[in-house]
């Protein structure tokens, strides 16, 4: 239950902002969001003895907060107060870097400065964003450079002879880091670092020497992680949060049981989670690193005396090689993977995720061998860690530990793929998508990929039933007027006490905006005819005599380019087409034209339908070329659609239309960004008026005046 002290604290800090800022106007929806968050987090249950209670979602709330509500202020203030009073961390995650930077650089400083709430905060990043000083110094030491120019086959950090330019770049980084002119964060380096080069100087949890590392005291990752332990608010991205809980929680971020999560841009969470629980590996690359296992574990045995463990790991690696070679032979005759002139990388989607009988035994054998190898290498890594306690500073031991860590990571990846390939889900459960792609780069090379089609069960088990509390929010969470799609895709539907709230918009849509549905004859199902009609309509819809902005959104790059090419020259001159120039340059040019009293027209794709903020006259007309239906042409989508059909459902109605509803609302939301904005939305898709689902899509839009 929310205490009087907590109520007073939230009220007083909120009032302080109002008193401090004369232009600040408290909003009813924002106050309601504050109360909803505080009450939900107050229902969090504490440990009873050594046992955590069975959580049923009582401290989880889903809040749709339209643009203009002031969501970040509400969840930072209410969440911050509750985290401090309840002894928890507030972990705020988002899908985009832009929002993370906004939270750290603008929103949190604003709350601290104006509310009097003394929150401390830090931005959390994955280990891969940070430099590993041990690796960098090793690669740039004079003796190391000489050996690298004639690569040691045992050295896992390089897979090619390094070029002088690469060594020069590494030396520059080493000098800057050593002189404390750079903090080791990749994002703060003053030039672009190629992914391949960065991989040489970063590390993962397997290759890290941890407390035995001679550079532990200056390690950017550990310094950043130490900071997280001493702050009230941790800002991260969805991927990092999901990676942390998939590893058991509390590895990078605070443990779920000690965290109040605020998941902003929550409409991205389900797909982010599916990607997190997916796995893939290349057959050719696997054969390459498996060939190094014997030499590395022999070195490890010399330091640990674990002869039997080393022998077992060598045997398991050999078994993996043997089974992968069998797979290579079996796939050579698979018709679905036959390359052709127009498809150099054919892919075979395994129907319903059920392997043919002839492949079930090889898959099971591969899963068993990969599982054994992963455990044996991990055990050897633990033995090396023990050995390092007594041999601090042993360069050969540290080198062996780094190489073994590399192999442990690869073995985990191999195991993850084959555990999924070897799994057949129960009849009524969503299947696992499995597909194999023939690689054009190497003869006889294949990419094995597997992914759950739903992350609901994993999220429920690893996050929702463990978290002390959670707030899921975004401007658009409902689909076709309800939260059912979100609850289903995230696993929250299995927690009966989750609360949902749709806040009212502060905007007066029927006075600020209009909705126009031109009487097009051609349906988007006739791409050529539809494109020709768009070319005819746009000159009628766009007024070039006014110094205002127009945003035209397309679902197809080809249609966008065809329309741009077919427009009259006068209109083409005012076009700014996504992809022709960098986004930042495009937006700067757009605003400069308006300042010069010129009209400006932006052509954009789906990515411009979300997160693009063009207030005032920078966007007074949003034109949507067609409904944003995403057809399931990827392996995961195809597998899920087939599963729905086999259960008697209709994937178009159950998935495609609801997901299109969310995207359409987001696209329409580019028009009204403030209480002073005005304009029109035009949708050039006659299916809205001709198809039965059109009424549902229209009903989910803001209540603009229809013209």
Q: Pick out the residues of the known binding site for [4Fe-4S] cluster.
A: 132, 208, 213, 219
Which residue has tokens 């690796």?
135
Identify the DSSP state of 130.
B
Q: Regarding beta strands 432-438 and 446-452, do their DSSP bridges make them parallel or antiparallel, or are they unpaired?
A: antiparallel
Side-chain-side CA neighbours of 39 within 13 Å: the count stands at 14
Radius of gyration for the alpha carbons in the chain, expressed in angstroms and rounded: 28
For Cα atoms 480, 634, 279, give the angle at the middle one, nearest 5 degrees. Answer: 110
Q: Where are the beta strands (DSSP E) in 209-326?
A: 233-237, 259-263, 279-282
Q: Is residue 313 helix, strand or coil?
A: helix
CA–CA separation, 210 and 217 (whole Å): 10
CA–CA separation, 102 and 692 (whole Å): 41
Counting every residue written for the chain, the total comes to 707
Nearest CA-CA partner of 529 in 552, 553, 563:
563
Cα separation values, 510 from 444, 514, 685, Å:
62, 7, 22
Could you tell me where the DSSP H helices lie in 202-282? Answer: 220-228, 238-246, 269-276
Sheet containing 432-438, strands listed edge to edge, beginning at the edge strand earlier in sequence: 279-282, 446-452, 432-438, 347-349
3-state secondary structure 592-629: HHHHCCCCEEEEECHHHHCCCCCCHHHCCEEEECCCCC
30 by Cβ neighbours in 10 Å (0-12 / 13-18 / 19+) ranks as buried
Q: Regarding beta strands 347-349 and 432-438, do their DSSP bridges make them parallel or antiparallel, or are they unpaired?
A: antiparallel
What is the enclosing helix (H) or strand (E) of 644? helix 635-646
For the beta carbon of residue 482, count every other beta carbon within 10 angstroms. 14
Nearest CA-CA partner of 644 in 633, 656, 634, 629:
656
Nearest CA-CA partner of 560 in 684, 670, 693:
684
Tokens of 538: 């746009």
CA–CA separation, 171 and 355 (whole Å): 50
**Residues that constitute the known binding site:** 132, 208, 213, 219
Cα separation values, 696 from 18, 624, 633, 688, Å:
40, 17, 24, 9
Identify the DSSP state of 251.
S
Q: Regarding beta strands 347-349 and 469-474, do their DSSP bridges make them parallel or antiparallel, or are they unpaired?
A: unpaired
CB 479 within 8 A of CB 489: no
């Amino acid at each position: 239950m929310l205490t009087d002290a907590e109520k007073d604290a939230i009220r007083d800090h909120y009032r302080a902002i109002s008193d401090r800022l004369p232009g600040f106007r408290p909003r009813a929806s924002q106050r309601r969001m504050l109360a909803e968050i505080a009450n939900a987090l107050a229902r969090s249950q504490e440990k009873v003895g050594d046992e955590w209670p069975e959580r049923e979602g009582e401290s989880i709330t889903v809040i749709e907060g339209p643009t203009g509500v002031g969501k970040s202020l509400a969840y930072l203030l209410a969440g911050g107060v509750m985290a401090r009073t309840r002894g928890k961390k507030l972990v705020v995650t988002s899908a985009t870097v832009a929002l993370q930077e906004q939270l750290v650089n603008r929103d949190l400083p604003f709350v601290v400065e104006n509310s009097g709430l003394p929150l401390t905060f830090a931005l959390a990043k994955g280990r891969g964003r940070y430099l590993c000083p041990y690796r960098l110094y090793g690669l740039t030491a004079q003796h190391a450079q000489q050996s690298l120019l004639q690569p040691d086959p045992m050295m896992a950090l390089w897979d090619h002879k390094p070029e002088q330019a690469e060594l020069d770049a590494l030396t520059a980084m080493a000098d800057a880091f050593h002189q404390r002119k750079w903090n080791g964060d990749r994002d703060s380096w003053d030039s672009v670092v190629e992914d391949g080069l960065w991989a040489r100087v970063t590390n993962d949890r397997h290759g890290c020497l941890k407390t035995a590392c001679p550079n532990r005291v200056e390690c950017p990752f550990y310094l950043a992680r130490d900071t997280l332990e001493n702050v009230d608010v941790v800002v991260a991205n969805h991927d990092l949060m999901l990676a942390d809980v998939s590893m058991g929680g509390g590895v990078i971020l605070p443990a779920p049981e000690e965290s109040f999560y605020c998941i902003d841009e929550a409409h991205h969470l389900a797909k982010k989670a599916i990607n997190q629980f997916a796995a893939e590996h290349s057959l050719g690359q696997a054969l390459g690193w498996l060939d190094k296992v014997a030499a590395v574990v022999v070195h490890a045995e010399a330091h640990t005396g674990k002869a039997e463990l080393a022998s077992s790991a060598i045997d398991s690696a050999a078994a993996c090689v043997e089974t992968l070679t069998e797979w290579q032979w079996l796939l050579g005759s698979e018709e679905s993977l036959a390359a052709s002139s127009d498809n150099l990388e054919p892919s075979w989607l395994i129907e319903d995720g059920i392997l043919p009988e002839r492949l079930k035994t090889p898959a099971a054998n591969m899963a068993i061998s990969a599982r054994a190898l992963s455990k044996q290498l991990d055990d050897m890594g633990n033995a090396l860690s023990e050995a390092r306690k007594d041999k601090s500073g042993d360069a050969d031991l540290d080198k062996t530990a780094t190489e073994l860590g590399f192999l442990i990571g690869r073995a985990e990846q191999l195991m993850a793929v084959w555990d999924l390939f070897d799994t057949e889900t129960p009849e009524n459960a969503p299947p696992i998508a499995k597909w194999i792609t023939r690689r054009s780069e190497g003869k006889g090379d294949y990419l094995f990929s597997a992914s759950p089609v739903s992350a609901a069960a994993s999220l429920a088990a690893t996050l929702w039933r463990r978290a002390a509390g959670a707030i899921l929010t975004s401007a658009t969470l409902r689909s076709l007027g309800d939260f059912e799609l979100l609850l289903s895709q995230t696993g929250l539907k299995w927690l009966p006490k989750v609360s949902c709230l749709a806040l009212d918009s502060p905007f007066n849509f029927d006075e600020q905006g209009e909705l126009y549905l031109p009487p097009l004859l051609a349906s988007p199902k006739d791409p050529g005819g539809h494109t020709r009609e768009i070319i005819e309509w746009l000159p009628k819809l766009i007024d070039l005599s006014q110094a205002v902005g127009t945003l035209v959104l397309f679902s197809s790059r080809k249609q966008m380019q065809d329309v741009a090419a077919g427009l009259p020259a006068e209109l083409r001159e005012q076009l700014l087409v996504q992809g022709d120039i960098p986004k930042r340059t495009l937006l700067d040019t757009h605003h400069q034209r308006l300042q010069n009293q010129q009209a400006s027209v932006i052509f954009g794709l789906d990515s411009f339908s979300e997160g693009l903020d063009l207030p005032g006259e920078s966007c007074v007309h949003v034109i949507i070329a067609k409904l944003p239906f995403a057809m399931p042409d990827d392996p995961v989508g195809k597998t899920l659609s087939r599963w729905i059909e086999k259960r008697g459902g209709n994937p178009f109605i159950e998935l495609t239309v609801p997901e299109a509803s969310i995207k359409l609302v987001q696209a329409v939301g580019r028009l009204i960004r403030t209480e002073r904005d005005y304009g029109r939305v035009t949708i050039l898709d006659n299916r809205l008026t001709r198809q039965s689902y059109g009424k549902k899509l229209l009903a989910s839009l803001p209540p603009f005046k229809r013209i």
